[in-house]
Amino acid sequence: MTRTLAVLLALSSPLALAQVKVKGKKGTVEVNADGTVVKDGQGNTVEVGGGAVKVKGKHGEVEAAGVAQESAQGNEIEIDGTGVSRTIECKGGQTEVEVNGTGNKITVTGECKEVEVNGTGNSVAIESAGRIEAHGINNKVSYKRGLEGKEPKLVSTGMNNAVTRAAP
């Protein structure tokens, strides 16, 4: 329980993710800026990072890259995934976009009410938004303009996130 709590606390703290390694009787969990590696002590591993999920075991190896789930409901669009490249469109300044995951490359066209980016190493290019949020580590978000001639409200928490105006 203590080890699990330590990992959860480390994952929730933006200052703690330089590297965390927890060893137990049945294996190890290592989390760093490049991703997460779980080893079970019997030669099996699961690696998450760099836009892919890789599972290795005694009988072989399986890798999945560009895994994504996208949902749209009313004026909300949510993209969850790893290594996803996608272009989505906002309409009328009322759409809210949420991007969650690792290593995603998302282009957002049109006018959005809000764009929120959560995770690690995501790259998001936005045409126009009223509010832009970046949470996590090493996310790069650029925007061309705000809504109705106003600058967007910018929020950035975590480590090494950048929210910048794109060059004209």
Q: What is the DSSP letter of 79?
A: E
pLDDT of 44 over the 70 cut = yes
Residue position matching structure tokens 């490249």? 85
| Residue 21: other Cβ atoms inside 10 A | 12
The Cβ-side half-sphere exposure at 135, using a 13 Å CA radius, reads 11
| Residue 59: other Cβ atoms inside 10 A | 6
Listing from the earlier edge strand, what are the strands of the sheet with 45-49? Answer: 19-24, 27-32, 35-39, 45-49, 52-57, 60-65
pLDDT of 41 over the 80 cut = no
* Helix H or strand E segment including 6: helix 2-12
Residue 82: its pLDDT value, please? Answer: 92
Q: Taking the model in full, what pTM does it have?
A: 0.62
Residue 47: its pLDDT value, please? Answer: 74
16 band by pLDDT with thresholds 50, 70 and 90: very low
